[in-house]
Structure 1
Amino acid sequence: MPLAVYLKWVRASALYDLLVTWPFALPWTFAWVYAQLHALDLAWGLPGAMPPLDPLHLLLANLLGSVVVVWSLARWTAPSLRLGRLDAAARLMFASWQVHAVLQGASAIVLGFTAFELAFGGVQLQRVRAENDA
């Protein structure tokens, strides 16, 4: 794909991450999001478990959310091939750990996030050609 198109995908993935993960960065918003995800998990009868939220879960979610927000802002404000490739690697790692968690008994609701990780990761691994290449 042309570099200009690739960079739009890098920015799109950054925007997705900002919209989805900013609530993870704050204790009170993550507690609300977790409650909503738990309600969906119960309503849909998904396999796996969502344990009660405890202070350690909250801390780890807040740390993840904080790092992802900063990483997203870097990709949004200065998208590049390098940042896209690094983001693809991170997304493949996230997807791997999410699948592992589900296989270990975590709620299958996690797989909704996994689908986006794999989709954006796959796009950002595509071959990029220079603008003047045909």
Structure 2
Amino acid sequence: MATDKASRGVGGWFLLVFAIILVILGLILAAGGLWLVTLGGSWYYLIAGLGLIISGSLMARDSLTGVWAYFLVLLGTLIWALWEVGLSPWELLPRVFGYIVLGVIVLALLPTLKRRQAPSRQATI
């Protein structure tokens, strides 16, 4: 980790809890997605679940790469949803709303993540 656990602070703890939630959601999606793939269904849920696991794991380690991984999952979700249902708002909403809400939280946690990385950058200079 970039900083000492004892100096995590409220924002740092919120970041860690959120990262763990992303991993749990990813595990659920990936497990269901794996089952769906074995039945001949869509690979989307397995891939999205693995992406959330990677994103949450990286954010738990205070890595900005986890943010990029999350937004890659969000972009993939938007593409998949548009491919699957087109521009129908009532069909798009349930497919993308949760990811957008989580994306807003990721953006809100970005300053905390950047602060937690700052000491490691200064140490290497």
Report the TM-score, using the length of structure 2 for normalisation.
0.49
Say which structure, 1 or 2, has more relative contact order (CA 8 Å, 6+ apart).
1
Report the TM-score, using the length of structure 1 for normalisation.
0.47
